[in-house]
Structure 1
């Protein structure tokens, strides 16, 4: 299995507490995800983020194909980081770390995703042709939305 890595770093013009409150709420993920992903939370306990929390989504990543996606929040350190991992979905592995670090100008936010695709050689081709670019588009969109929400003030 080939493991890939996607890292994104962004400065957010907000306090650590404001930043944490927004990004640690699964409800806000839809606000920063491209509409073309057809992202929809289908089951969520509406509680503040905690280790062991299960969140179910429906996504439309490609060609109108609707897929279920289930993630678990595996680690949470308030105002510092949290990790979500796919339990069921399109990836063979999805491990997403979200780090928040107070700076003089607000918060340095770092996303680090390790992922793998199923189907061996076909998965590697799909990553080169589609998945890598799709993830770049998603994170580029998130950057724009975070700028609009926090950095345009």
Structure 2
């Protein structure tokens, strides 16, 4: 299983960062490079506990679908999304928001496992961990730019 942690400082209060992080439209805009779109479940608003969304996106030249569910949710504090169907053997993304004066420190902890046993573990180590960290980092950069301007 691969795991990484990203920390992003955003000059906005935790409530705003939390809400933007759960907004389907903000997420879609942040993933424009992968042509990502919400195609089922919640497709046009902020997500809440128990909501699911199915994303369709292009990665590595291949179209993928992943259905994620919000499995934990504490307003302005944290939420968790987990894959219910999709390309990974498992996917769990924890989002934590901590007030830092009038700003927010956002911590993403992502743990995932690729399918296909030893071949999947090799892909995690060689390609996927770095690729996924860059993808989430780009998403966070978009959130930061959106909320600070």
Same fold (TM over 0.5): yes
* 1:134, distance to aligned residue in structure 2 (A): 1.0
Change (3 A) 1:47 1:39: closer
Q: Where does residue 6 of structure 1 map in the other structure?
A: 4
Q: Please give the alpha-carbon distance, in whole angstroms, between the structure 1 residues aligned to 2:141 and 2:67.
A: 26
* Gaps in structure 1 of 5+ consecutive residues: none
1:4 Cα shift?
1.5
Structure 2 unmatched runs, 5+? none
Distance 2:8 2:116 in 1: 33
- Give me the whole-angstrom Cα distance separating, in 2, the residues matched to 1:24 and 1:86: 15
Matches within 5 A, 1:77-88: 77-88=74-85
Which of 9, 17, 25 is residue 27 of structure 1 equivalent to? 25
Mapped to 1, the partners of 2:143 and 2:20 lie a distance apart of 10
Shift of 1:6: 1.2
Q: CA deviation at 1:114?
A: 0.9
Change (3 A) 1:16 1:144: closer
Among residues 107, 111, 133, which one is paired with 2:108 in the alignment? 111
2:86 aligned residue: 89
TM-score w.r.t. structure 1 length?
0.87
SS of the residue 2:130 aligns to: helix
Distance 1:23 1:136 in 2: 16
Q: What is the aligned-residue RMSD (CA, Å)?
A: 1.7
Match in the other structure for 1:75: 72
1:51 aligns with 2:49: yes
Aligned to 2:15: 17
Q: For 1:133 and 1:11, locate their aligned partners in 2 and report how far apart those are by CA, in whole Å.
A: 21
Shift of the alpha carbon at 1:130?
1.8
